[in-house]
Amino acid sequence: MELKTPLYDTHVKYGGKIVPFAGYLLPVQYSGVIAEHMAVRNAAGLFDVSHMGEVILKGKDALANLNRLMTNDFTDMYDGQARYSPMCNSNGGVVDDLIVYKINDETYFIVINASNRHKDVAWMKEHIQDDVTMEDISDSVAQIALQGPKAKAIMEKIVPAENIPQKNYSFIPRVMIGGAECILSFTGYTGEDGYEIYTSPENAAAVWELLMENGKEEGLIPCGLGARDTLRLEAAMPLYGHEMTDDITPIESGLGFFVKMNKEDFIGKQGIIAKGEQKIKRVGLKVVGRGIIREHCDLYDGDKKIGVVSSGTHCPCVGTAVGMALVDIEYAAVGTTLEADVRGRRVAVEVIKLPFYKKGEVLVK
């Protein structure tokens, strides 16, 4: 039985088309995926992401545990900073990717994927050590994302400027939005500037309504999971279960920047080393034939299967069918032409640079 987020009734009220996703009932769309996608690119969109999981790591040895559990390095963070990282298993495969928020030297707030919540919590519990405690607080946290070029103007109507984080991947821990105490963070998953707001479930609907009301002039509309997926794909942001899995390393997923091999040790380091030279790479693909490539489409060079599409669809802003894929490294060069098996039909694709879109600019030629 799927759970409802604290905003379920709000979604129904706004005409959301509800579907089951990662154990929750969530809106896949309201007005339509394309309209919602374009609103986020040109104005602003509001998303319920309360299904995401949250964990608190606390104690004198919190930092040492983070640096051992995750592939990124959290040593030089300031209070109020957020940092993205993969978390690996001992083979170097990815358990999950997550964002770590530093509240202070001994307290970290970690946001994980809904679909991995129980796996992550079990994994982390099993591997933390020394003076640290861990608590899964997912059920007492609601999350709303306000994204798009108009997000700042909307936020400024409700929150004094000094309480709005100004730097990408920074946050302010106790901000009042209406009557609700929130964590306000300058983060997102759309390729646009915007905010993610964490608050208590009982405050979620009021925060949502306040934002909708104040965003009317700017063209703010509610957005569903459909647009969330097309937006992140256009911005080439990886999604767990697609570009990352338990069996591929973050290096292969194109996340090498977030893997600090110079760190003394972390879980997965030996596994990554043991894999040797990189054999698989995440690439961008553009469809040059007729059709749409989607997840699980096999990729061929003649008769030889050389990879698989990890995410793909028609991207509204780019205006054409694109995708991301994991391919054998010798086929990863930009300009390489391949064929995708789209339901038994061969469709020509070309390897192109990622991302497809960056802050107002479509990069697909």
Partner 1 sequence: MNIPAELKFTRSHEWIKDLGNGEYEIGISDFAQHELGDLVFVNLPQEGDTITMEEPFADVESVKAVSDIYSPVTAVVKEINEEILDAPETINSGAYDAWFVRVENVTETAELLSAEEYEAFLNEEA
Residue nearer to partner 1 on the CB measure, 174 or 343: 343
Task: Examine residue 138 and tell whether it contacts partner 1 (CB under 8 A).
Answer: no
Of the candidate spans 93-101, 103-111, 132-140, 291-299, the one that interacts with partner 1 by CB under 8 A turns out to be 291-299
CB of 32 to partner 1, least distance (A): 5
Task: Examine residue 10 and tell whether it contacts partner 1 (CB under 8 A).
Answer: no
Q: For the chain, first and last CA: distance in Å?
A: 45
User: What are the CB-based long-range contacts (under 8 Å, 24+) for 7-13?
Assistant: 7/48, 7/50, 7/142, 7/144, 7/204, 7/205, 7/208, 9/205, 10/48, 10/204, 10/205, 10/208, 10/209, 11/48, 11/222
Per-residue CA distances from 175 to 35, 181, 210, 226 (Å): 31, 6, 14, 30
* Contact flags string 332-351 toward partner 1, x per CB under 8 A: -----------x--------
The single-letter DSSP state of residue 48 is: E
Task: Examine residue 28 and tell whether it contacts partner 1 (CB under 8 A).
Answer: yes
Smallest CA-to-CA distance from 200 within 136, 159, 144, 140 is with 140
* Contact flags string 208-247 toward partner 1, x per CB under 8 A: ------------------x---x-----------------
**Interaction residues for partner 1, span 49-88 (CB under 8 A):** none
Contact 167, 62 (CB under 8 A): no
Parallel, antiparallel, or unpaired: how do β-strands 3-4 and 24-29 relate? parallel
Of the candidate spans 148-156, 269-277, 312-320, 322-330, the one that interacts with partner 1 by CB under 8 A turns out to be 312-320
Q: Please pick, from the candidates 314, 317, 349, 351, the single residue that binds partner 1 as defined by CB under 8 A.
A: 314
Size of the site for partner 1 (CB under 8 A): 18
CB of 326 to partner 1, least distance (A): 21
Residue nearer to partner 1 on the CB measure, 117 or 286: 286
Task: Examine residue 290 and tell whether it contacts partner 1 (CB under 8 A).
Answer: yes
Task: Examine residue 294 and tell whether it contacts partner 1 (CB under 8 A).
Answer: yes
Task: Examine residue 41 and tell whether it contacts partner 1 (CB under 8 A).
Answer: no
CB of 63 to partner 1, least distance (A): 41
At position 31, the amino acid (one-letter code) is S
Contact 261, 272 (CB under 8 A): yes
Task: Examine residue 32 and tell whether it contacts partner 1 (CB under 8 A).
Answer: yes
Of the candidate spans 28-36, 212-220, 245-253, 333-341, the one that interacts with partner 1 by CB under 8 A turns out to be 28-36
**Helix boundaries (H) for 188-258:** 201-215, 225-234
> On the CB side of 19, how many CA atoms lie within 13 Å of its CA?
10
Angle at 194 between CA 192 and CA 200, to 5 degrees: 140
> Where on the chain is the footprint of partner 1 (CB under 8 A)?
28-29, 32-35, 37, 226, 230, 290-292, 294, 313-314, 316, 321, 343
